């Protein structure tokens, strides 16, 4: 299934344990796809192991690449973030350049999808790691969205509040700017009501951490999103 039609996806962290039964419920929940990705302790072993377990189900699976070392084949797509509000070229294009320099001969380019990230929770690990400037207002975020759509023509813009539920008015304002670039929202979705709220504006709602805290609530977000769309 093409990621462009995704409304709801679950994001699984390869560094976190998930029981086979729980994974089956996630994969058979009616969600449109699984993103495998995390910031800490992501290893090739974890990434392969989770892939093999997800592959038993008939569902699209994407690796969101955080470290080049953890990349393994077999995924349907590889989502590669470029952090639009980072203050360090490393997270905008340098690690990308290094990875292409090292592995360019082996990359299936049509599987590589550029994700423009805007990281908005100042306290999350991703913001610190990427030296993201999170002290930005709505005008700044809208300008990033326009840059993503019109200048870099990125297929995906990902508003990331990692660990914190975001500003739905901001997500609405960003959606209003986008026509071709697909808007992902991720961060802090803990229940069906929040998933529903973000699904009014985001093209694709990403549900992550709640999987590990309350699986039933996590599963409930699938129907909430599908009913909203």
Nearer CB in complex with a copy of itself: 90/226: 90
Q: How far is the CB of 155 from a copy of itself (least distance, A)?
A: 9
Q: Which residues in this chain contact a copy of itself in the complex, by CB under 8 A? A: 80, 82, 84, 86-89, 92-93, 96-98, 100-101, 104, 107, 109, 112, 114, 139-140, 142-144, 146-147, 150-153
The reply, when asked if residue 162 is annotated as ligand binding, is yes
Nearer CB in complex with a copy of itself: 100/215: 100
Q: How far is the CB of 74 from a copy of itself (least distance, A)?
A: 20
3-state secondary structure the chain: CCHHHCCEEEEECCCCCCCHHHHHHHHCCCCCEEEECCCCCCCHHHHHHHHHHHCCCCCEEEEECCCHHHCCCCCCEEEEEEECCECCHHHHHHHHHHHHHHHHHHCCHHHEEEEEEEECCCCCHHHHHCCECCCCCHHHHHHHHHHHHHHCCCCEEEEECCCCCCCHHHHHHHHHHCCCCEEEEECCCCCHHHHHHHHCCCCEEEECCHHHHCHHHHHHHHHHHHHHC
Nearer CB in complex with a copy of itself: 98/193: 98
The reply, when asked if residue 33 is annotated as ligand binding, is no
Nearer CB in complex with a copy of itself: 25/175: 175
The reply, when asked if residue 188 is annotated as ligand binding, is yes
Binding site: what residues are annotated? Answer: 11, 13, 39, 158-163, 188, 208-209
Q: Which residues are annotated as a binding site for sn-glycerol 1-phosphate?
A: 11, 158-163, 188, 208-209
């Amino acid at each position: 299934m093409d990621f462009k039609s995704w409304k709801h996806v679950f994001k699984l962290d390869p560094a976190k344990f998930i029981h086979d039964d729980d994974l089956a419920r996630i994969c058979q929940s009616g969600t449109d796809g699984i993103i495998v990705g995390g910031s800490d302790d992501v290893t090739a072993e974890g990434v392969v192991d989770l892939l093999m377990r997800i592959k038993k189900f008939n569902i699209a699976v994407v690796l969101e690449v955080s470290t080049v070392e953890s990349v393994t084949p077999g995924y349907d797509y590889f989502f590669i973030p470029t952090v639009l509000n980072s203050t360090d070229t490393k997270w905008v294009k340098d690690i990308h350049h290094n990875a292409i320099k090292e592995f360019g001969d082996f990359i299936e380019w049509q599987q590589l999808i550029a994700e423009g990230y805007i990281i908005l929770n100042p306290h999350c690990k991703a913001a610190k790691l990427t030296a993201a400037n999170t002290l930005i207002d709505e005008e700044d975020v809208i300008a990033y969205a326009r840059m993503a759509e019109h200048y870099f023509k990125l297929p995906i813009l990902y508003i990331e509040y990692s660990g914190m539920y975001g500003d739905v008015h901001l997500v609405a304002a960003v959606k209003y700017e986008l026509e071709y670039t697909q808007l992902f929202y991720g961060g802090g979705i803990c229940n069906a009501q929040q998933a529903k709220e973000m699904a009014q504006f985001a093209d694709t709602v990403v549900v992550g951490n709640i999987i590990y805290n309350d699986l039933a609530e996590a599963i409930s977000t699938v129907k909430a999103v599908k009913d909203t769309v």
